[in-house]
Amino acid sequence: MGKLIIFDMDGTLIDSDKTIIRCMEEASSNFGYRIHSIRENIGILKLDDILALNDIPEKNINEILMFYKKCYSETFYLDTKPMNKSVETLEYLQNKNRLGVLTLKYEDLTRKLLEYFFRNVKFEFLVGGDSGIKNKTEGLKRIVDISGEDRSQIYYVGDRGSDMKAAMEAGINGIWVSFGLGLNDSFPQDYRFYKIDSFDKIIDLLRANRKS
């Protein structure tokens, strides 16, 4: 029996923090602002929340984000890359499982990245940060409800402690990738999640958890 495997993007499917930081700094400086605390909040806060955290007035946030989005869309190939062994692992997993993506990135940017880096992989579900969700828990619950899958057969793969918290709150399995951005994050103490140190190890983990 196949499973539904939902992936985070930044720090999980792709190594993208250099692009995000570069474009956020370029966009904010273009309007006379200097922002901090970007890397530690990637995948945890939406970009507008990161800007608000840096005391940038609401009237300028949309302008900065428009500049950021253009920068990201046109230059991501300079310093974003797929995580090691992610492409071949996903191509293998899609044969017997359903795949999805939950991210706080813009959905159209996410689709562009998926088509660029994972062109032979079918992602059945995609929920982005601009799709009306307040947080990742809401996004996971939306995918779970749409999929109709048993929660015991659904996994969320992410690199942040907040990803594991979202999986816990959505009532599904969590898989933490230790090679992402969340090595020093806080993790939920009352939730048993899985850990993998290499992307391809997810195959072994799912085999071990296969229903008899």
- Domains of the chain (ranges; CATH) run 4-15+81-208 (3.40.50.1000), 17-78 (1.10.150)
Mean pLDDT of the chain: 95
CA distance 137 to 27: 29
Q: What is the DSSP letter of 10?
A: B
Q: CA 28 to CA 186: how far, in whole Å?
A: 29
Q: For 13-17, 43-47, 108-112, which range has the lowest pLDDT when averaged over its residues? A: 43-47
Residues 20-35 as b/e (b if ≥16 CB within 10 A, e otherwise) read bebbbbebbeeeebeb
pLDDT of residue 212: 36
Among 7, 1, 2, 45, CA closest to 125: 7
pLDDT at residue 210 is higher than 80: no
Share of the chain above pLDDT 70, in %: 99
pTM of the entire structure? Answer: 0.95
pLDDT single digits (tens) 48-72: 999 999 999 999 999 999 999 999 9
Angle at 162 between CA 9 and CA 112, to 5 degrees: 15
pLDDT at position 209: 84
Give 141: exposed, middle or buried? Use CB within 10 Å, 0-12, 13-18, 19+. Answer: middle
**Helix 107-117 × helix 58-75 angle, to 10°:** 10
pLDDT over 90 at 103, yes or no: yes
pLDDT band at 36 (very low <50, low <70, confident <90, very high): confident
Model confidence over 122-134: pLDDT tens digits? 999 999 999 999 9
